[in-house]
């Protein structure tokens, strides 16, 4: 299955350059996809697997994933999951780094 591009126009608040979502999923399979933005996903509960850039990882409470715009990933839920999902445009992430006096991100 060809990976799908998820756009910032649909998933990131244009005013602040980032977004936050709580996701409750009973049993789903999310097709391979990638974003034109950064994404952090924290699993609060549940079980499953994620396939990121060809490597499979278990999904369970406490797992944290950071995806860049070049990471192709998908996941399968085998037990009801709850996640916190934070997405941000490249410019927003760079601004956070600048304010914290961290080195710039390069891809």
Quote the CA–CA distance of 88 and 19 in Å, as a whole number: 6
Instruction: Examine the pLDDT at 107 and tell me if it is beyond 60.
Output: no
Please indicate whether residue 3 or residue 28 has the higher confidence score (pLDDT).
3
Question: Tell me: the pLDDT tens digits for 61-84?
Answer: 999 999 999 999 998 889 999 999
Nearest residue to 11 (alpha-carbon basis) of 88, 68, 93, 80 = 88
Q: Among residues 71, 68, 47, 67, which one has the least CA distance to residue 58?
A: 47
**Predicted pLDDT of residue 102:** 62
Dist CA 45 CA 36 (whole Å): 27
Helix extents (H) in the chain: 8-11, 90-99
Q: For position 65, what pLDDT does the model report?
A: 94
Total-model pTM: 0.79
Mean pLDDT of the chain: 86
* Cα angle 26-30-34, degrees, rounded to a multiple of 5: 145
- pLDDT band for 38, please (50, 70, 90 cuts): very high
């Amino acid at each position: 299955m060809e990976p799908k591009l998820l756009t910032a126009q649909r998933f990131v608040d244009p005013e602040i350059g980032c977004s936050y979502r709580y996701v409750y999923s009973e049993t789903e399979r999310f097709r391979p996809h990638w974003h034109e933005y950064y994404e952090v996903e924290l699993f609060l509960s549940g079980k499953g697997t994620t396939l990121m850039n060809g490597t499979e990882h278990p999904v369970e409470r406490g797992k944290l994933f950071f995806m860049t715009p070049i990471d192709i990933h998908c996941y399968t839920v085998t037990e009801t999951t709850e996640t916190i999902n934070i997405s941000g445009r490249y410019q927003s992430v760079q601004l956070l780094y600048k304010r914290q006096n961290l080195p710039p991100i390069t891809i």
